[in-house]
Amino acid sequence: MARTLKVAAAQLGPIHLADSRRRVVARLIDLMHEAASAGCRLVVYPELALTTFFPRYWYDDLVETDRFFEREMPGQETRSLFEEAKRLGVGFHLGYAELVRESGRTHRFNSAILVGADGVVIGKYRKIHLPGHAEHRPNIPFQHLEKRYFEVGDFGFPVWRAFGGILGMAICNDRRWPETYRVLGLQGVEMVLIGYNTPTRNIYYPEPPHLCALHNDLALQSGAYQNGTWVVGVAKAGAEDGQELMAGSCIVAPTGEIVARALTQEDEVIAHECDLDLGAYIKNSVFNFAKHRRPEHYRRIAEQVGARVEV
Ligand code: ING
Catalytic residue among 40, 84, 98, 127: 127
Q: Does any domain span residue 310?
A: no
Q: Does any domain span residue 311?
A: no
142-175 pLDDT, tens per residue?
999 999 999 999 999 999 999 999 999 999 999 9
Pocket of ligand 1 contains residue 236 by CB under 6 Å: no
* Ligand 1 probe mutation, 12, 128, 144, most atoms within 8 A of CB: 144
HSE, CB side, 13 Å, CA atoms: give it for residue 249.
Answer: 34
For residue 152, the Cα-to-chain-centroid distance in whole angstroms is: 15
The secondary structure of residue 114, as a DSSP letter, is E
Q: How far is the CA of 124 from the centre of ligand 1 (A)?
A: 21
Does residue 183 register a pLDDT over 90?
yes
Task: Please list, in sequence order, all residues whose beta carbon lies within 8 angstroms of the beta carbon of residue 61, skipping any fewer than 6 positions away.
Answer: none
Pocket of ligand 1 contains residue 246 by CB under 6 Å: no
Q: How far is the CA of 131 from the centre of ligand 1 (A)?
A: 6
Q: Does any domain span residue 211?
A: yes
Answer yes or no: are the C-beta atoms of 129 and 45 closer than 8 Å.
no
- Of 4, 238, 192, nearest to 93 by C-alpha is 192
Angle at the Cα of 192 (from 162 to 226), degrees rounded to 5? 125
User: Do strands 230-235 and 250-252 pair parallel, antiparallel, or not at all (unpaired)?
Assistant: antiparallel
- AA letter at 307: A
Q: Does any domain span residue 308?
A: no
243-277 pLDDT, tens per residue?
999 999 999 999 999 999 999 999 999 999 999 99
* Ligand 1 probe mutation, 51, 125, 172, most atoms within 8 A of CB: 172
Q: Does any domain span residue 14?
A: yes
The pLDDT, as a whole number, for residue 138 is 93
Pocket of ligand 1 contains residue 197 by CB under 6 Å: yes
Catalytic residue among 70, 84, 172, 240: 172
Query: What is the rounded average pLDDT of the residues 188-199?
Result: 99
Residue ranges of the alpha helices (H) in the chain? 21-37, 79-88, 146-149, 178-185, 210-225, 280-283, 289-292, 299-303
Please give the Cα distance from 57 to 82 (Å, whole number). 30
Query: What is the rounded average pLDDT of the residues 74-94?
Result: 98
Range of the domain at 60: 4-303
Q: How many domains does the chain have?
A: 1
Give me the CATH number covering residue 199. Answer: 3.60.110.10
Q: Is 274 a catalytic residue?
A: no
